[in-house]
Structure 1
């Protein structure tokens, strides 16, 4: 498996570095001059797209009722040369050569994701004694997000811990897409593992929204506007 170095810096680390730089530069103030310090923050932009020949993966955070999404630590992206490598990283099982995926071959991409999820689920329940440990260590693909309509363009694979995905009622979220350079760039999306997805215009699951049940070939009025995502059990709308 060829893993590419992470190219993303977490928001928290960036904040620490920014504070360090600010402390290193003495402030010069004049009582006769107005305070021109910026008091507001610009909404982070989309950032650079992943290279056309790579697939990035990002782990979801479980969404707990009453939890302050702004306090959940961000997940960073890990990027790979192929979808097969990305799937192997998420599920812990290599993708058989027979399931190789050609770029743009949507049926085979979907089949490869479903097969990888099936292997992860099966391995989590191989024996009764190992079920609890294996289930905790396993993971499933929850969705794919694309920068172009029609499930085209650079794609990012979103996944969550556990062997049941949304089938058992679990809910997963990405409260700030700017953390991994996917803010305001999504034009189509697919859901897996028994999930439906909701895309929100605001961070921390607020503002306008679009439900994908389970997939959206286009995002309609939410095109290039999503800033957070929730994956819920099929049949549940945001």
Structure 2
């Protein structure tokens, strides 16, 4: 679905990312950690720590294809480090946005990344496609509950700037990241929709 000539639309697509960021927690919401007892056994205790970070990637073309087919968005591919995401994308090809195959022909290019912490901290989600933002805008009118209450910093990549919105379908307050926002101010943990657009253009 094309929203306008320079926009690749993803209207109606809710990224299926719930649960990707949820830390392990004991009853009552405290994260689980372990301590060693006098007998040498390990016992779980509640402490102010979080579960391991996850760094994920999702293909824009696969999300768009699912939208056009009326299907759910594909799950992101997740790793324990951002370096593994970069390795996953570097020099690879894909045909379905989530799994690489030898017959694929399109190179993967990251267009932007969101983080659960300020200053590119915490877990991350990388959006990637077959090109950067030269003459193309990529829009995400909705984000699942796993991300729409979690984004604290954003960066555009490969010729992209980013615009965040505090309401779905590009409504509410907006913030332009040119290309990087180390924190989101009043939009922190409130991003409900997102656009990656060509460098030099603002939302």
* Shift, 1:165, TM fit: 0.5
- When residues 47 and 156 of structure 1 are mapped into structure 2, their CA distance, relative to the original with a 3 A threshold, is closer
The CA deviation at 1:173 is 2.2
**Does 1:235 find its partner at 2:186?**
no
Kindly indicate which of the two structures has a greater share of residues assigned to helix: 1
| Correspondence for 1:165 among 128, 132, 147 | 132
TM-score (ref. length: structure 2): 0.61
What SS does the corresponding residue of 1:173 show, helix, strand or coil?
A: strand
Match of 1:48 among 22, 28, 31: 22
**Corresponding residue of 1:111:** none
- 1:152 and 2:121 are equivalent in the alignment: yes
TM-score of the aligned structures, taking structure 1 as reference length:
0.53
Retained in 2: the 8 A contact 1:199–1:226?
yes
C-alpha distance 59-190 of structure 1, shift in aligned 2 (>3 A): same
Give the number of equivalent residue pairs: 150
1-side partners of 2:176 and 2:193: how far apart? 12
**RMSD across aligned positions (CA):** 3.5
**For residues 197 and 62 of structure 2, what CA distance do their matches in structure 1 show?**
10
CA contact (8 A) 1:62 1:171 kept: no
What residue number does 1:190 align with? 155
Deviation at 1:186, TM superposition (A): 1.0
Cα deviation, residue 171, structure 1? 1.2
CA contact (8 A) 1:49 1:154 kept: no
Aligned equivalent of 2:58: 58
> Conserved in 1, the CA contact under 8 Å of 2:112 and 2:154?
yes
Structure 2 unaligned regions, length at least 5: 1-12, 25-50, 93-103
C-alpha spacing 1:76/1:176, structure 2 compared with 1 (3 Å): farther
Q: 2: CA distance between counterparts of 1:212 and 1:142?
A: 13
1:158 Cα shift? 1.8
CA distance in 1, matches of 2:75, 2:121: 23
Rounded Cα–Cα distance in structure 1 between residues aligned with 2:170 and 2:188: 16
Find the structure with the greater CA-based Rg.
Answer: 1
Q: CA deviation at 1:205?
A: 1.9
